[in-house]
């Protein structure tokens, strides 16, 4: 779609160059990710944005049905020759590095050979998501750090780990367990945008007057003293404060933000409280404004009211004198910490039971279709 967009409307909607914000000085470092199954189309698309980013990433990990229908993401992982060509084409023809994000196979051995092929193809950083293709939705389950560790030990390029990063303390635990060079989180940051911030980091401002916003938007409520924070290593701000900061950022940009994206982000930010405040959940779902400025007015009114309620809930809890170990509960099926509903926190889908992840007899590298020559792709029919 990006490749065939003759009018440029799809490109502008997905990577806007009109206002100089996407890929601009404040948007760096920036890695632009593409889904693709055609090397020529991928190269043309990447050439369009290579001067506006620091690297181009190929998505080899998407497990969704749309990726299956379009034959991209993790549904390419059985066609190693094509994957090699996709990466190598960019590696030889772009002025910026090419990286790749991928999912594991059931066997560690096949996963390692796959990662080594990505390195030979020219990927200069790889991100290993420690879940197999079938682990999605209710079957998401736990990512295998053992697979990621094996990948890191097998290649010479930087490896980022992806999976099981729910709390700040998981970052160091993952680095220690895998030996990786970095950690990536996707869904976790949709629920707590401060996931990578330590507890000592300043909280998001309740007043965002330093960011330009339409004058029609009501002012934010004043910030409360931050003396009532959970005893955790990471920052868990009040989610309504995060949501207000997010709306102010959206308001400050010339590049328009999709209305559906804004609503989706707000639902995730405030998820812990929406079951406690069903009227606000209903109001949020009913926002139908087609104009961005009008929609932002409605969204800010809802989030401002949510902030007032969450601040009251926090004040009442603090006044009760309850210790934090009574305010933080443990979810029985996952063992995860559930924080008070006014705080940003992870969301974890309970997993259905499944077979152990590593089963060498179930999957192996086909020796007939592999080669050790650096200039040749390593392919697999398994």
> Is the domain of 200 the same as that of 163?
no
Domain holding 180, by residue range, is 9-189+357-369
Q: Give residue 89's pLDDT.
A: 99
The tokens describing 303, both together, are: 């989030």
> Is the domain of 229 the same as that of 290?
yes
Residue 160 and residue 180: Cα distance in Å, rounded? Answer: 6
Nearest Cα to Cα of residue 357 among 70, 43, 83, 131 = 131
Nearest Cα to Cα of residue 190 among 100, 261, 260, 294 = 261
Rounded to the nearest 10 degrees, the angle between the axes of helix 39-49 and helix 80-93 is 30
Provide mean pLDDT across the span 217-245.
Answer: 73
The tokens describing 139, both together, are: 């079957």
**Residue 167 CB partners (closer than 8 Å, separation 6+):** 195, 232, 233, 234, 337, 346
| Domain-located, residue 96 | yes
**Residue 375 CB partners (closer than 8 Å, separation 6+):** none
> Is the domain of 340 the same as that of 200?
yes
Q: Give residue 139's pLDDT.
A: 83
| Domain-located, residue 210 | yes
> Is the domain of 37 the same as that of 169?
yes
How many domains does the chain contain in total?
Answer: 2
HSE, CB side, 13 Å, CA atoms: give it for residue 367: 0
CATH number at residue 43: 3.20.20.70
| Domain-located, residue 38 | yes
Q: Model-level pTM? A: 0.84
> Is the domain of 181 the same as that of 54?
yes
Q: pLDDT category, 206, cuts 50, 70, 90?
A: low
List, as one string, the DSSP characters of 156-177.
SS-EEEES---STHHHHHHHHH
| Domain-located, residue 4 | no
> Is the domain of 311 the same as that of 362?
no
Residue 249 and residue 184: Cα distance in Å, rounded? Answer: 23
| Domain-located, residue 376 | no
Residue 87 and residue 122: Cα distance in Å, rounded? Answer: 6
| Domain-located, residue 3 | no
> Is the domain of 201 the same as that of 93?
no
Residue 147 and residue 142: Cα distance in Å, rounded? Answer: 12
> Is the domain of 92 the same as that of 146?
yes
| Domain-located, residue 98 | yes
> Is the domain of 80 the same as that of 179?
yes
Q: pLDDT category, 4, cuts 50, 70, 90?
A: confident
> Is the domain of 91 the same as that of 236?
no
Our CA dihedral for 111, 156, 100, 26, rounded to 10 degrees, sits at 150
Position 165 pLDDT exceeds 90:
yes
Residue 239 and residue 362: Cα distance in Å, rounded? Answer: 44
Q: Which residue has the tokens 């053992």?
A: 146
> Is the domain of 238 the same as that of 309?
yes
Q: Give residue 200's pLDDT.
A: 87
Compute the mean pLDDT over every residue in the chain, rounded to the nearest whole number. Answer: 87
274 vs 348: which has the higher pLDDT:
274
Q: Give residue 10's pLDDT.
A: 86
Q: Report, as residue numbers or ranges, the catalytic residues.
A: 62
| Domain-located, residue 246 | yes
DSSP summary character for residue 96:
S
> Is the domain of 281 the same as that of 301?
yes
- The C-alpha angle 324, 328, 332, rounded to 5 degrees, equals 150
For the chain, percent of residues with pLDDT exceeding 90: 74
């Amino acid at each position: 779609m990006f490749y065939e967009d003759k009018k440029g409307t799809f490109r502008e909607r997905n990577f806007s160059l009109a206002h100089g914000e996407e890929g601009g000085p404040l948007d760096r470092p920036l890695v632009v990710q593409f889904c693709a199954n055609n090397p020529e189309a991928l190269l043309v698309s990447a050439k369009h944005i290579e001067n506006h980013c620091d690297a181009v990433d190929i998505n080899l990990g998407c497990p969704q049905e749309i990726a299956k229908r379009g034959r991209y993401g993790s549904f390419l992982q059985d066609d190693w020759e094509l994957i090699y060509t996709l990466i190598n084409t960019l590696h030889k023809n772009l002025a910026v590095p090419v990286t790749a994000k991928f999912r594991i196979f059931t066997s560690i051995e096949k996963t390692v050979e796959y990662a080594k092929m990505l390195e030979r193809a020219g990927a200069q950083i790889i991100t290993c998501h420690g879940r197999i293709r079938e682990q999605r939705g209710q079957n998401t389950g736990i990512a295998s750090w053992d697979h990621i560790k094996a990948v890191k030990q097998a290649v010479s390029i930087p490896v980022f780990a992806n999976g099981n990063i729910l709390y700040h303390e998981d970052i160091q635990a993952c680095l220690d367990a895998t030996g990786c060079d970095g950690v990536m989180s996707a869904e976790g940051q949709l629920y707590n945008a401060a996931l990578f911030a330590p507890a000592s980091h300043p909280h998001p401002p309740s007043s965002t007057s330093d960011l330009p916003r339409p004058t029609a938007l009501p002012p934010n409520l004043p910030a409360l003293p931050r003396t009532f924070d959970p005893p955790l290593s990471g920052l868990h701000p009040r989610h309504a404060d995060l949501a207000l900061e997010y709306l102010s950022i959206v308001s400050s940009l010339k590049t328009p933000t999709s209305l559906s994206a804004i609503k989706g982000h707000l639902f995730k930010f405030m998820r812990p409280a929406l079951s406690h405040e069903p009227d606000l959940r209903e109001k949020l779902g009913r926002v139908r404004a087609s104009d961005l400025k009008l929609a932002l007015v409605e969204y800010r009114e809802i989030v401002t009211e949510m902030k007032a309620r969450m601040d009251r809930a926090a004040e009442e809890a603090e006044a009760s004198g309850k210790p934090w170990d009574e305010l933080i509960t443990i979810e029985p099926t996952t063992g995860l910490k559930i924080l008070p509903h006014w705080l940003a926190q992870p969301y974890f889908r309970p997993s259905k039971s499944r077979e152990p992840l590593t089963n060498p007899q179930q999957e192996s590298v086909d020796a007939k279709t592999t080669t050790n020559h650096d200039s040749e792709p390593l392919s697999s029919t398994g």
